[in-house]
Amino acid sequence: MSLFMLPAANAAIRLGGVMKKILSFLSCRLVRRCPGSGRIIGLNIGWPLLFPILGMAALIWSLVRIVAKPSRAAYPCMRVAVPMASSFLAWLLGITGASLLVKRLRTRFDRRKYAVARLLLSGIVLFVLTTLSDSRLAISNIALDYKDPYGPNVPVGEAKGIFPGRVVWAWNPDATNENCQPDRWGDAYFLDKNCNQDVVDDMLSKALLQLTGEETGDAAWDAVFRYFNRQHNKGDVGYTAGETIFIKINAVHAWTTNKDGSIRNDDDYGNVDTSPQAVLAMLRQLVRNAGVPQDNIYIGDPYTHVFTHCLEKWRAEFPAIHFMDKSGLDGREKYSASAEYKMHFSDKGSVLSQTQDRYFTVMDEADYLLNIPAMKGHRWGGVTFFGKNFFGANTRSGADHMHPGLHRESYDGPLRGQYGLYRVFVDLLGHENLGGKMLIYLMDALWSCSYEHEPPVKFKMAPFNNDWTSSIFLSLDPLAIESVCLDILQAEFPKQESEVPGNYWYANFPAIDDYLHQAADPANWPEGLTYDPEGDGTPLTSLGVHEHWNDPIEQKYSRDLGTGVGIELLKQHAPSAIATLLDVPARFILRQNHPNP
């Protein structure tokens, strides 16, 4: 052997010894816990036998459960056990392979076969890096799962409704066309060929009866109006002639249209807004069953236009309804702004860039409001439900001034992922002219997605099983219905290791339900802050009840289980197993920030 190879050989031998020590260390100390929460967050500290024991237990548990019934792979316990078992197998294979390589490396050095030894040494490094990376990923995915400090089935707040805390979930896969390609021109979700109006009408009709416990549509609506009026100290009376209703929809993608108000063939085509079929079903209920005259109904999204395809569909049946538009296109009426500032944000300038807002006269003067959002995740707010849909109600040119009160102000902004922070949704849901005027809460989940500016996606969880959501939700409790929708989005779009996954995990932002905690119980308000959106010295009280279900399989709340006085979830469908299909990557596009983001 030449003299110049001796230093390299000695270095290789020393490195081999170091690698052996590293492997020994890794095999004994693979689990690291957060000092504050105690959750598993990575590798390399803690009880030496914890990871092998948990890994073996998870592997055995996974095999016993899944082999007997493959659909169990999507159960909550399996979602924890399978990644742990996978990381254990990867660790075991890595340690075994690396140990064999170390043994062969020693043999090669003993025989002075240095070239082969160097190759084996490279293999050791590769094994270690691969094993460490795979194990960290598997364990960190467990640690990234969203956690609510209250835990499941712990109601917070005071349930509202004729039957307090009741939420009705109507699901019928026949409502939507499973072959729809929503981002393809001429095949969007909102077309009648892709959404069955008769089925949607039937879903809403039955949901209304379940919500109120009545046997006819007329009686159900009378019960809804009487409940609202009793809560607002107007007496035990139903709808009174002359009273007006404004319906706030989500039409963010109608910000720009063709000159005639028709939808453009651009990147926003097919992105989810409130579906025209859900709106028409509600209009039919109001006019035919509730007895509200057409000309006492106003509908629109103040920031945007009313698409021509929506206008034509609704006007064909109800020509006297007022179709509101930001610019008053043909067949539409233009909004006028109120002179008085009605909203006085409760942070008093400590968080938001503005301290007050004005709204439009049609909303200020309406006796009742309906708010029909589409069920979507949101890059700034985590979710865009009833509170977020009111972002498009103010008279400014945009809603940027409210962004600091969300979970994230911008792409570059820090995540406000702590509990006990000012949340602008509470002001919006609690204001007497916004959430305070809400007659009934209808969530349009016929089509849903994880991000506000994308086409609908098929959901894998039960009962959808890789089909469109095909659902509507109905309630008289704003927090109960938002809680149910949040649970669904969180189950369908869990947080991933990547910040830019195929499906976005915004609904799993840390402390995403902070606004629900605060809206439910003043005890959860930030220290030194009082929610008083009217600025009249009268603080908000509980707006409803918040709770998380027991798990994504049974989907039961405390009233369903008979354990508490929280949410009651009534379903118009039978339970089914969760599908275990692989994720289908969705497109990722950086879009222009719409005025009602």
**Annotated domain spans of the chain:** 5-143, 156-571
Residues 125-145, mean pLDDT to the nearest whole number: 42
pLDDT of amino acid 65: 65
Tokens of 74: 């999507």
- Token look-up 């004994």 returns 28
Tens digits of residue pLDDT in 46-105: 445 566 777 777 788 677 766 654 545 545 465 557 666 777 777 777 777 666 665 665
- Cβ atoms within 10 Å of 186's Cβ, excluding its own: 10
Q: Does residue 345 surpass a pLDDT of 80?
A: yes
**b/e code 115-154 from CB counts within 10 Å (16+ = b):** eebbebbebbeebbeebbebbbebbbbbbbebebeeeebe
Distance CA 340, CA 332 (A): 25
Least confident of 35-44, 160-169, 315-324, 528-537: 35-44
Q: Full-prediction pTM beyond 0.85?
A: no
Q: CA–CA distance from 578 to each of 59, 121, 143, 369, 491 (Å)?
A: 21, 45, 23, 36, 11
pLDDT of amino acid 106: 63
Q: CA–CA distance from 103 to each of 22, 107, 500 (Å)?
A: 15, 6, 42
Distance CA 407, CA 423 (A): 8
Least confident of 30-39, 198-207, 336-345, 544-553: 30-39
DSSP H helical ranges for 235-306? 276-284
Phi then psi for residue 256, to 5 deg, are -120, 140
| DSSP β-ladder status, 374-378 and 471-475 | unpaired
Tens digits of residue pLDDT in 387-430: 999 999 999 999 999 999 999 998 878 999 999 999 999 999 99
Q: Does residue 337 surpass a pLDDT of 90?
A: yes
